[in-house]
Amino acid sequence: MSRYTGPKRRLSKREGVALFAKDAKALERKGAVPPGMRGTKVRPRFSEYSFQLREKQKTKRIFGLNERQFRNTFNEASKSKGATGNRLLELLERRLDNVVYRLGFVKSRAEARQIVTHGHITVDGKKVSIPSFKVKTNSVVAISPKFVDNTQVQKSLEENTPVPGWLSRKATVGKILRVPERQEMESIVNEQLIVEYYSR
């Protein structure tokens, strides 16, 4: 299944939360009414399955994965030691595109995925152009020298976005200090619902 390429704000409205930072103010102003709904008088009844499905879709869209990629990540998590839901989020957080975003090199995961794909990111000194690459503890992630002066990157660095505790950053170089803890991972995800969805 191909990745969604339509208006991102529509996805945020569909899930009722700001999946992307720039959608937050728009949703507060207009209200998070799903596409096709006419006002707040319509109150659809949601089944348990519906909540599970929506949570899976929401999480998939937050991290920018298609259905196959997300399912494969879940399968990997389910075969690992520990709670499947927590392992799923950990694997998603350790994706190279997400790490680049978390380090504040760019403003969104979509931008991070783009610069990784174009070969502007190195891991331990070697160019890696695969967004799904899982970064390990103690690995060093950096912006390639030729891309350091990119306007997009410089604007993001100037904002000095706080970096989560499992990462460290100095200028255009970041390091993975340890595995992220649950409170340091995506907060608007209910991973248990996703586990329940795939356990049907």
Does the pLDDT at position 88 exceed 80?
A: yes
pLDDT band per the 50, 70, 90 thresholds, residue 43: low
Q: Residue for token digits 């499947």?
A: 84
Locate 101 and state its tokens: 């975003």
- Distance, CA of 101 to CA of 108 (rounded, Å): 6
For Cα atoms 109, 1, 14, give the angle at the middle one, nearest 5 degrees. Answer: 60
Indicate the CATH number for domain 95-178.
Answer: 3.10.290.10
Element (H, E) at 112: helix 109-117
Domain 8-91+189-198 class? mainly alpha
Determine contact, residues 189/86, Cβ cutoff 8 Å: no
Average pLDDT rounded to a whole number, residues 61-81: 96
pLDDT band per the 50, 70, 90 thresholds, residue 113: very high
Does the pLDDT at position 2 exceed 60?
A: no
- Distance, CA of 123 to CA of 157 (rounded, Å): 19
Determine contact, residues 15/59, Cβ cutoff 8 Å: no
Confidence (pLDDT) at 141: 98
Confidence (pLDDT) at 34: 65
Q: Where are the domains of the chain?
A: 8-91+189-198, 95-178
The one-character DSSP state at 139 is -
Confidence (pLDDT) at 200: 87
Mean pLDDT, the chain, whole residue set: 88
Average pLDDT rounded to a whole number, residues 102-119: 96
Task: Report residue 98 CA to chain centroid gap.
Answer: 6
Task: Identify the CA nearest to 118 among candidates 101, 82, 95, 143.
Answer: 143
Average pLDDT rounded to a whole number, residues 146-168: 93
